[in-house]
Chain A
């Protein structure tokens, strides 16, 4: 396809950046949640919880803003996907609510059963969110039955096909790997030793899922491969992705947890980039006819809106990046519990 870097493309990239930001940031705290039940003592669980305590809420804002930006820039994509994926999105919402409340209330009571209940809710919700995001991505990669009316009719059972489940599993594995690396930065002593074991296992788990998912994509989903055939330079992304993943065990062994974290962030970013290149210029591929694909042109807002929004983003995003960096800077280092902690 011919490629021109117009405003619609810029917005495609910006939404990609917001969602990748969500994947990287909420990714590690969903990962921490998924690993939560592997620790047994109350103190360890509180350390896990408080490692994400000050940041998880801000991380979720990336999803909210990504959703808002999608609504504004590509209303048809927002409308078609959100109404078409009604049940999974509702489940996603319930899990997000459950998770937020679990984090908030878990340590507010001393009772064992109270804490055990909210620990489970927190962990199960974290895993379910990762799976639901992955299953949705899996369906988007495969293409979904969108008709001439731009509407998407799909049942939950059609969504839960093996390929989508595989992508769901891959997402969960990626977040677990990412979360365990984050935890290595935030813990020390015995707990950190335990966490290092998780990094190993979850990295292996992720590589297996990822390799299987990649094979399945190459074999079954040709339209994701075409753009790479047309523009072989994008293979560089796949290469970078591999390098980033391979770098994780190397940095972990050297005890450079921060660099390991940067590597797994780069791995998630390049995965998102591969996904985006495979889709471009479509947002949603119709399995009925390519004519019905929702693209960055036929699903976009007016040019005026895209321009106004770009101005807003240009004003706002530097501030967003500045807060994000300063918050992570203020809360750098190992977790310390105090009387304001969760």
Chain B
């Protein structure tokens, strides 16, 4: 394997592992705001117990997100130094903004959210919870802006800087609101809300099956279902606008998503299929002309196909196709799951139909998978470019880093992340099995008295 492949493999591995956690933090963050808001509004202790329970889960996902997130910020420099020199002006600014506007906000107020229950008033605590949630979303804003610039560069010019070409900002807001920022950000946030909502749905369903903490489980399930309803329908719109944006800004990616080769014919929309990249054929079931209809409102308009791109500017087609279709399929199943659950709730059957609750328990995996493979579509579909149309991935590597270096770090990452994941699942499982506590547990340290005296 080449250095490029090792570097890509390491980045893919570390970013995929990292991306398990931030969507959970963003989604749980907004749910915590609702839960604690309910507590403040109703004064019902049950909401307080519920909030404290979910804060503990949140703390765990947040810690994992932070621990694996620092890696990402370092990796641009360690493995993609040439890319970093090329985009520092722009990408670096977004990362720095994330630090100043998101991370400080998040980590500062997180301290109060986690440890401040007895140190600040209820309203201040609620304010801290809101700020943590806001911070987690701000972080998504800046990182998606940075990534969107890689997809659809804008507000820059290319400058020769001492013999090396690089991109420099000409218009900051043009860079921030590049053509794909808004739709990609909203789609990312929607996915994160779903990840958080379905975690709460899953755990609540588990308690209902086990007939434990039923009051909290029912209330939690209702809150999460409403969030899921909003988010899953929201994803329909943001998904559609994202795909329409891709059609305009990254035609090669759109063609790969539907494996559309022939530029003279209208685009079909596949339900599922398999792409044979050598004879450029798709075996599967498609709605003829539907892609053209969705994008141009007319099923007969031809769509630019992969045949119109030079051979070395075509992304891997089948992977892009498969990840995209699976994401869409999961998106629709999440809408279905949510609507059926709400229907059952309305009929008063949701909390007792064990079979359906069991389905909800496993449903937690769906948004996770969709979030991961949705990003695979976005990132693999952008290949061979690291900055679309400007810099190829193979030209972005660090010149001083060899395959041996990367193999060394990749082995260590694999070992550490495997261990981390086991610890994460173990503790998550333990916290869930332990469940919310109705009353504050007395400390079993007699020595602790001396501390408070």
Contact = CB atoms under 8 A, between A and B. Distances in A.
Are A and B part of the same complex?
A: yes
A334 B74 contact: no
A108 B114 CA distance: 15
Contacts of B105: 319, 323
Interface stretch (B38-46, B236-244, B378-386, B405-413): B405-413
Interface stretch (A66-74, A208-216, A230-238): A66-74
A339 B77 contact: no
A72 B79 contact: no
Interface in B96-145: 96-101, 103-105, 107-112, 114-120
B85 A76 contact: yes
A1 interface: no
Interface in A9-68: 43, 47, 53-55, 57-58, 60-61, 63-65, 67-68
Contact of B77 (A63, A79, A337): A79
Contacts of B109: 323
Contact of B92 (A54, A71, A87, A317): A71
B311 interface: no
B105 to A, nearest CB: 7
A70 B81 CA distance: 13
B46 to A, nearest CB: 18
Given A97-B416, A320-B104, A309 B85 contact: no
Contacts of B448: 43, 336-337
Given A54-B111, A101-B423, A72 B89 contact: yes
Nearest to B105: A323
Nearest to A74: B88
Contacts of B2: none
A302 B101 CA distance: 22
Nearest to B103: A61
Interface residues of A, number: 78
A81 to B, nearest CB: 7
Interface in A87-101: 87, 89-90, 93-94, 96-98, 100-101
B92 to A, nearest CB: 3
B279 interface: no
Given A57-B66, A104-B60, A65 B77 contact: no
Contact of B118 (A54, A100, A149, A338): A338
B63 A320 contact: no
A302 B443 contact: no
Contacts of B67: 96-97, 100-101
Given A78-B88, A79-B82, A43 B120 contact: no
Given A79-B81, A305-B169, A67 B74 contact: yes
Contacts of A319: 104-105
Contacts of B87: 75
A337 B445 contact: yes
A92 to B, nearest CB: 8
B96 A83 contact: no
Given A79-B77, A89-B74, A97-B416, A71 B95 contact: yes
A71 B108 contact: no
A94 to B, nearest CB: 6
A68 B99 contact: yes
A197 interface: no
Interface stretch (A131-139, A158-166, A324-332): A324-332
Nearest to B406: A86
B400 interface: yes
A97 B77 contact: no
B100 A96 contact: no
B96 A54 contact: no
Nearest to A333: B119
A111 to B, nearest CB: 12
A160 to B, nearest CB: 16
A70 B76 CA distance: 12
Given A97-B67, A312-B97, A55 B74 contact: no
Interface in A245-298: 298
A81 B93 CA distance: 18
10 contacts: A47-B451, A64-B103, A71-B96, A86-B398, A104-B60, A153-B400, A188-B451, A305-B92, A308-B169, A312-B93
Interface of A: 43, 47, 53-55, 57-58, 60-61, 63-65, 67-76, 78-84, 86-87, 89-90, 93-94, 96-98, 100-101, 103-105, 108, 149-153, 188-189, 298, 301-302, 304-305, 308-309, 312-313, 316-317, 319-320, 323-324, 326-327, 330-331, 334-341
